[in-house]
Structure 1
Amino acid sequence: MVLLKPPGVYAPQHDTSLLTKALSRERLRPGARVLDIGTGTGALALAAARHATGARVTAVDASRRAVLTARLNAALAGLPVRVRRGDLCAPVAGRTFDLVLANPPYVPSPDGALPRSGLRRAWDAGGDGREVLDRLCVSVPPLLRPGGVALIVHSGLCDPELTVKMLEKERLSAEVTERRTVPFGPVMRARAAWLRQRGLIGPEQSTEELAVVRAERVA
């Protein structure tokens, strides 16, 4: 897909690609309801709209610029994706879905605080990288219909097995289904010294593992 990728909007990267691969493995019924949390350019939402016949796709992002970009990309692709602005799942409270996709912020941050504005909102996620992930593990399960699936991508630095355990605590069946090792991007390279100091990466490490956690509400 050809996408608009304006400055200030998180552009599709390795994590987007890995989550798209996981999406392609899902069998969705015609007219399935899909939610894309943290849509950025709308790449995953558009992939979901193409993947399932008549899919009803809703995309959410906290960034006004991302919301506008996703709407424009959906219009250019001729795909009926609804894009809402808001914090994580708040814009769709009370609704349920057959599939929830999430590519949340997951990069550990030296200042430990979540930014309230700017592009750093797309990756900064507290001192351990789990501040947004932990919220998703609690807020996503109520969004799933019986048989519904959630696909969440994040770095191996943030402990995918903990994500699995938290989702299982919410009575979902969960496991890591996709893994990929990728070179550090600009943000990880800039923070490498701090990450080594924290013991989060090895002395010579210049790659990270990405993982997709798949969770299902068993009917």
Structure 2
Amino acid sequence: MAVLRTDRPQRMLAIPGVYAPQQDSHLLMQAIRREGVGPGMDVLDLGTGTGVLALGAARLGARVTAIDVSRRAVLCARVNAALSRRRVMVCRRDLSAIASSFGGRYDVVISNPPYVPTPPAGLLRSGAGRAWNGGHDGRALVDQVCACAANALRPRGVLLMVHSGLCGTETTIDRLTEVGLRARVSDRMLIPFGPVMRSRLAWLRGQGLVDEGQHNEELVVIRAEQP
């Protein structure tokens, strides 16, 4: 179990198999603050992991529900909420349950889903890699968020989702537009490849996802608003 420090003086626990907060988490948290999340607002965190974003929204005064399909992530987020003395409802749910369980209830939906393109032998449904493996094009979970987020949002509600540009920024915007949301890129950040990306660099180049000599990826925050 690791003890992590976020950009605030808060200690976060991360257990093996649960995604530890990194640059993408911090980039998305900046967007959440800028969105004006605060008291009286209802926020849904899809794929909460350690709960860092859910707790960030709760510290701003929002009522927060956080879901994850991983039992480890749910446990981790609940422990972090208790340690932080913040009220966050943490549930073990699959994204497919969003439409029936959370229809039209939220002002803001946030998500940092697994999005790393994954070779066929990579684990998607179990193991430690579940925290970052996103399927062959990185979009297995990104597309699920695109498909279900609109059902969870109130009128004028907003989705904020972060992912790598390697899995298709314009594709995400198109998917969200198809379900009736007004989508755009709100934030960008260029970062060096991390250990997971470096470990599969040859495969990524073979798939045409990474150019020869490329050692950085762009992170993007997609903002999509319900009319």
* TM-score between the two structures when normalised by the length of structure 1: 0.94
Identity of aligned residues (%): 54
From 136, 140, 148, the counterpart of 1:131: 140
What amino acid is aligned across from residue 107 of structure 1 in structure 2? Answer: V
2:102 & 2:59 partners in 1: Cα distance? 25
Are the aligned partners of 1:112 and 1:125 in contact in 2 as well (CA < 8 Å)? no
1:85 & 1:12 partners in 2: Cα distance? 20
The Cα of 1:105 is off from its aligned counterpart by: 1.1
Does 2:94 match 1:87?
yes
The Cα of 1:88 is off from its aligned counterpart by: 2.2
For the structure 1 residues 113 and 8, does the alpha-carbon distance in structure 2 shift closer, same or farther, using more than 3 Å as the test?
closer
What amino acid is aligned across from residue 144 of structure 1 in structure 2? Answer: L
SS in structure 2 at match of 1:177:
strand
2:39 & 2:163 partners in 1: Cα distance? 28
Structure 2 stretches of 5 or more lacking a match? Answer: 1-9
In the TM superposition, 1:35-46 aligns within 5 A as: 35-46=44-55
For the structure 1 residues 131 and 113, does the alpha-carbon distance in structure 2 shift closer, same or farther, using more than 3 Å as the test?
farther
For the structure 1 residues 192 and 113, does the alpha-carbon distance in structure 2 shift closer, same or farther, using more than 3 Å as the test?
closer
From 190, 193, 213, the counterpart of 1:204: 213
What amino acid is aligned across from residue 86 of structure 1 in structure 2? Answer: R
From 12, 33, 50, the counterpart of 1:24: 33
1:127 & 1:150 partners in 2: Cα distance? 24
2:207 & 2:44 partners in 1: Cα distance? 35
The Cα of 1:199 is off from its aligned counterpart by: 1.1
Q: Deviation string for 1:126-184 (max 9, x for gaps)?
A: 11111211121111111100111000110000111111111111111110000000111
SS in structure 2 at match of 1:126:
coil
The aligned counterpart of 2:199 is 190
1:123 & 1:184 partners in 2: Cα distance? 14
Does 2:74 match 1:67?
yes
2:121 & 2:110 partners in 1: Cα distance? 25
1:162 & 1:180 partners in 2: Cα distance? 18
From 32, 42, 56, the counterpart of 1:47: 56
Does 2:153 match 1:144?
yes
For the structure 1 residues 114 and 164, does the alpha-carbon distance in structure 2 shift closer, same or farther, using more than 3 Å as the test?
farther
2:86 & 2:149 partners in 1: Cα distance? 25
The aligned counterpart of 1:111 is 120
What amino acid is aligned across from residue 106 of structure 1 in structure 2? Answer: Y
The Cα of 1:83 is off from its aligned counterpart by: 0.4
The Cα of 1:41 is off from its aligned counterpart by: 0.6
Are the aligned partners of 1:37 and 1:100 in contact in 2 as well (CA < 8 Å)? yes
SS in structure 1 at match of 2:13:
coil
- Give the aligned CA root-mean-square deviation in angstroms: 1.5
2:178 & 2:121 partners in 1: Cα distance? 26
Structure 1 stretches of 5 or more lacking a match? Answer: none
2:11 & 2:102 partners in 1: Cα distance? 33
2:192 & 2:201 partners in 1: Cα distance? 12
What amino acid is aligned across from residue 66 of structure 1 in structure 2? Answer: A
1:89 & 1:36 partners in 2: Cα distance? 14
Are the aligned partners of 2:17 and 2:131 in contact in 1 as well (CA < 8 Å)? no
